[in-house]
């Protein structure tokens, strides 16, 4: 898309940047840390070897939201809630708790405790450059939003990280899922920004679907938890130097 000059904003290349959430701004804890913390919450503990095996079983079963599922088979009784997991808070919980329940841990309540951690900021690790990049963009006058395919409210997480006033467009609230162009347009509308003056940053092909809604798009590979994720590239794209 050729560079254009827009009345009133001649010093800025873009008016808005929208970030994906999981894999872009933050990621869940490693499975061993995640399951171990849930066990502690229940007053239980396992030796490191058994904990590692159990965490791997949960990850393989697909019971840890955001952790790649190595076994693609979804039990028939969970197929409907799995399909709707990003459109309903009920379906999201039922799908992941149900998948955890396929693992026999021998610890009562562990499936629910594992799921509950994803609902709290403590269950996540923010990428090192996420908050500084968002703050720098806003200081430069660029609007910032978050857009996520997700089945629960991430606003408490954003608040805990000091960016609670960033508008969030969430699939389960708007009834749309990326890469549907309409969800990107909803996110732009929340910022009062035109799609052609907006950059979408994510880590999956679903995020890249923003191009079909007229947005510019940057797809970055997810980094290790807590490391820089390359998000500072948004500053070079949005704010001229």
pTM assigned to the model: 0.90
Mean pLDDT score, 130-159: 96
In terms of Cβ atoms closer than 10 Å to its own Cβ (0-12, 13-18, 19+), residue 96 is buried
pLDDT over 90 at 212, yes or no = yes
12 — phi, psi (to 5°)?
Answer: -135, 140
The better pLDDT of the pair 6, 184 is held by 184
What is the pLDDT confidence band of residue 112, given thresholds at 50, 70 and 90?
very high
Collapsed DSSP state (helix, strand, coil) of residue 185: helix
pLDDT over 50 at 2, yes or no = no
pLDDT over 50 at 8, yes or no = no
What is the pLDDT confidence band of residue 116, given thresholds at 50, 70 and 90?
very high
For 31-49, how does the pLDDT look when each residue is reduced to its tens digit (9 = 90+)?
A: 999 999 999 999 998 899 9
In terms of Cβ atoms closer than 10 Å to its own Cβ (0-12, 13-18, 19+), residue 137 is buried
User: Taking CA 69 as the corner, what is the angle to CA 119 and CA 113, rounded to the nearest 5 degrees?
Assistant: 30
Lowest mean pLDDT among 101-115, 183-197, 212-226: 212-226
* Rounded Cα–Cα distance for residues 118 and 120 (Å): 6
- Name residues whose C-beta falls within 8 Å of residue 178's C-beta, 6 or more positions apart in sequence: 147, 149, 171, 184, 206, 207, 209, 210
Domains, the chain, with CATH or none: 16-25+127-238 (3.40.50.1000), 28-123 (no CATH)
* Rounded Cα–Cα distance for residues 231 and 12 (Å): 18
Mean pLDDT score, 58-74: 81
- As a whole number, the mean pLDDT across the chain is 91
What is the pLDDT confidence band of residue 221, given thresholds at 50, 70 and 90?
confident
């Amino acid at each position: 898309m050729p560079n254009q000059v827009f009345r009133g904003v001649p010093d800025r290349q873009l008016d808005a940047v929208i970030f994906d959430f999981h894999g872009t701004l933050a990621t869940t804890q490693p499975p061993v840390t995640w399951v171990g913390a849930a066990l502690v919450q229940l007053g239980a503990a396992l030796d490191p070897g058994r904990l590692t095996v159990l965490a791997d079983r949960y990850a393989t079963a697909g019971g840890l939201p955001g952790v790649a599922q190595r076994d693609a088979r979804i039990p028939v009784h969970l197929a409907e809630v799995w399909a709707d997991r990003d459109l309903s808070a009920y379906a999201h919980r039922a799908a992941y708790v149900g998948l955890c329940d396929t693992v026999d841990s021998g610890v009562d309540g562990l499936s629910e405790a594992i799921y509950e951690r994803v609902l709290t900021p403590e269950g996540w690790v923010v990428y090192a450059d996420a908050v500084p990049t968002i703050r720098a963009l806003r200081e430069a006058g660029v609007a910032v939003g978050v857009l996520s395919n997700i089945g629960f409210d991430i606003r408490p997480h954003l608040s805990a990280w000091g960016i609670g006033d960033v508008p969030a467009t969430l699939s389960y609230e708007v009834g749309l899922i990326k890469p549907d162009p309409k969800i990107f347009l909803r996110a732009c509308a929340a910022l009062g920004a035109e799609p052609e003056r907006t950059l979408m940053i994510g880590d999956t092909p679903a995020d890249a679907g923003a191009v079909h809604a007229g947005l510019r798009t940057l797809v970055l590979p997810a980094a290790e938890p807590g490391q820089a994720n390359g998000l500072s590239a948004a500053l070079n794209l949005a704010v001229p130097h």
